[in-house]
Amino acid sequence: MKKIFKYFGLFLSAALIGAAAVSCVSKEDEESADLGLGIKTFFPEKVIAGTAMTINGSGFTEATAVVFPEEVVVTSFKIVTDNMIRVTAPAGIADEGGKIIVRTNDDEAVSSQTLILGKPTITGYSKQEGETITGGDKLTIYGKDLEFITSIELIDNENNILIVEDKSFYRKGTSNVVVIIPRNVYEGTFAGKIYTADGKSFALPAYTYEKPVEGHWELVKELIWQNDGSIGAVNWSSDLRFAVDGHQTGEECYIVPADIWARMKSETFYALVSGDSPQIRVVTGWWSEQWGGGDFQPGNELLTKNDDGTWVLELNLAGSDIVGTMDEKHLLFTGGGYTLQELYFQSEQWVGGGEAPVEEYDISMFTVYEAEGLRDTNIEWPFYPSWSDASGKARIMRGMGDPTIESLSLSTSSMFVVYKEVGTTGQIQWNNPNWGSFADVSCNDWDGGAETIEVPLTEDMLKCISGEISDGWGNTAFIIQGDGLKVNKIVLVP
């Protein structure tokens, strides 16, 4: 991504940084050589055969072998740098674990850490054998060392083998794994399989799989009050009064429970009325404070006509004068030309079965600050991205959150949406785990007018999420930084 600076300053900075980097690398190589052969750390500490491992230390350039407990010698590994080796844990490691050794032709280094051999064990499932599972449902597997489960084998609706990879698991932990059964699962009874990284398998119980019940989003009413037919047409002298429990006087048509009343003062609710040409006035019961600045009549944007001739008035009293007095003075609907039929809350809910699709994820659940001392802290909003201030840099991590970013089955149709403060100018940059920027990814607002910035995922960004492109520690997906913006939230839209 391009950064707009004064060109002379940019080139001078780049030259100085480049020179410093060359000097630094050279010095590090010299220091590494001076340290001699040694193992500083390795991870993960618990492995089974087939687990990818990283060993950090010094003097690795001439390494000829990595030796695992039980004298299992591995000669095929990758020397990334003089300080890093990448190796795959072999079969045959001692059950009790032990130390790791790195050997050269004339020396060897022994780890201070103890390698632990994982022993995946399954103790149960959230559904018992013979039960029914619907496509889209979650199945939980319980046990020990389950982080080494790599895939689930099922059958699809065309009777072919269907592999569910661990990157698409809903949750993956050491004591439980949660798998979302694909919606195209075979309709019938069969026993699937569970595979671990070392190639071992466990038989799933025989479940009866069914097609998913298709759900949909629907506007659902939550009634506050409904006219039972005893309340007639409103007129200017009628007293259609609502009071909160504890402040009633005997004049009200309905006493509203305190928790519902509190929501009416802070949330949007709706009034359904019947009548040809309503004129609705919303005031306190003492005819003092009035909400909305006038009467609501056909043509007002808050009053909508339904196909059946009824009307809906949208009310949001939050922050208005009426809220401060309506406990004592009640809430009165008056006017003419209508009959009040219902008061209700309304929300969009997933109905009809199956899991509701998640529309977006707040990235704070898998993001930590880059700044020293804050690295165990999830990013907080607002966030002020910065090139120079470490607290203005943050890492989007793999393996964090529920679900994790790598388990979301993202594609180039997915995107990040940055919600920024209007009036702030600058840019937010997405770097790969090695601090390199992504080609063709532009996310800036130089005139300050934007409320949001959309950042579609690229193929390289997806590789960072999957871990194909990774840093030395292997758990950073992206690093974000920038300049000038006040970011109120960043969401990931699958």
pLDDT on residue 208: 96
pLDDT on residue 354: 63
Q: Which of 301, 327, 350 is the last residue of a domain?
A: 350
Query: Is residue 230 situated within a structural domain?
Result: yes
Query: Is residue 127 situated within a structural domain?
Result: yes
Domain count within the chain: 4
Together in a domain, 384 and 369: yes
Query: Is residue 30 situated within a structural domain?
Result: no
CATH of the domain at 90: 2.60.40.10
Find all residues with CB under 8 Å of 24, minimum gap 6, and list them: none
Together in a domain, 317 and 415: no
Query: Is residue 23 situated within a structural domain?
Result: no
From CA 285, how far away is CA 332, in angstroms rounded?
5
Together in a domain, 374 and 488: yes
pLDDT on residue 18: 40
Together in a domain, 179 and 267: no
The boundaries of the domain holding residue 60 are 38-117
Together in a domain, 92 and 143: no
**Average pLDDT of adjacent 10-residue blocks, the chain of 494 residues:** 29 36 38 74 91 92 96 94 93 96 96 95 93 89 92 92 83 83 91 94 95 77 94 87 92 93 94 95 91 91 91 93 92 95 89 70 86 76 88 87 82 87 89 81 84 88 85 79 90 88
Query: Is residue 15 situated within a structural domain?
Result: no
Together in a domain, 111 and 183: no
pLDDT on residue 63: 96
CATH of the domain at 160: 2.60.40.1220
Find all residues with CB under 8 Å of 417, minimum gap 6, and list them: 360, 452, 453, 454, 455, 490, 491, 492, 493
Query: Is residue 17 situated within a structural domain?
Result: no
Asked if residue 77 lies in contact with residue 147, where contact means CB atoms within 8 angstroms, the answer is no
Q: Which of 185, 210, 235 is the last residue of a domain?
A: 210
Q: Which of 158, 181, 210 is the last residue of a domain?
A: 210
pLDDT on residue 11: 32
Together in a domain, 130 and 113: no
Together in a domain, 365 and 337: no
Query: Is residue 8 situated within a structural domain?
Result: no
Together in a domain, 439 and 388: yes
Quote the tokens at residue 232.
């007639």
pLDDT on residue 27: 40
